[in-house]
Amino acid sequence: MTSALYLEHYLDSLQHLPVELQRNFKLMRDLDDRAHNIMRKIDLQAADLLPRASHIEPEALRERVNAIQLSFNKAKEYGDDKVQLAIQTYELVDKHIRRLDSDLARFEAEIQDKALGGAPAAEPERRRRRRPEPRKRSASSESEPRRRRRRPPQPPPTPAAPPTDVLDMPVDPNEPTYCLCHQVSYGEMIGCDNPDCPIEWFHFACVGLTTKPKGKWYCPKCSQDRKRK
């Protein structure tokens, strides 16, 4: 089934969902109102009975207590029905969510299989993680390595903003940007060791570095995500 046809069928299955949800919510509200009305009556009956309980005949007192107990049981039934209806409503929505998650996973797998089948030698661009090349001033500028072999640490510009000579250079609108500052590549940069980092490369000054740290380094966002796990 194509994605367009699937989407049409899925939307058709959702056509009656709002009506069913609205009906269930209305029934839950009605059950809640009935239970509250009974509880208010029980409170009034108890408030009237307690001060005079010692003056009422035991048989009559027992009948009134039993009546209050029956009312309480009825209110409890309304509460139980409301809970069951809420569970059914949750399962109704969860069924559509689980179906959508399952189909999305299947479609993603199909897309990946087609991509690999159409171009088996191509490596996903996300995994190449090429080191951003600094802006070149002339044709004789030295190109950067393709991976993370960085130049020996040099003192970066103290401000987090790009150096003045970088700002004065003509800007190519197609030139990629990096870092928390969303600026082009310049000066010393460091790559986050999380392969799934959405930004990947950062200017030293923007992340508070003056020299290349030893071992693995993670950007502020990836560091926080690792702490939460």
pTM of this prediction exceeds 0.75: no
What is the domain partition of the chain in residue ranges? 3-118, 129-135+145-229
Partnered with residue 191 across adjacent β-strands are 201
CA distances from 110 to 119, 120, 172 (A): 14, 15, 37
The reply to whether CATH 3.30.40.10 applies to domain 129-135+145-229 is yes
Q: How far is CA 8 from CA 14, 16, 17, 121, 205, in A?
A: 10, 14, 15, 35, 51
Per-residue pLDDT 10s for the chain (229 aa) are 566 666 677 777 777 888 888 998 999 999 999 999 999 999 998 998 888 888 888 998 899 999 999 999 999 999 999 999 899 898 888 888 888 777 778 878 888 888 887 544 444 444 445 555 544 433 333 333 333 333 333 333 444 445 554 555 555 566 788 888 888 887 888 999 998 898 899 989 899 898 888 889 999 999 888 888 7
pLDDT number for residue 128: 41
Question: CB-hemisphere CA count at 13 Å for 165?
Answer: 7
Picking from 152, 213, 158, 208, the residue whose alpha carbon sits closest to that of residue 180 is 208
Q: Are the C-beta atoms of 213 and 200 separated by less than 8 Å? A: no
On whether the CB atoms of residues 3 and 93 are closer than 8 A, the answer is no
Instruction: Give me the pLDDT at residue 1, please.
Output: 54
**Quick check: 201 and 178 in contact, CB under 8 A?**
yes
Task: Specify the pLDDT at position 3.
Answer: 63
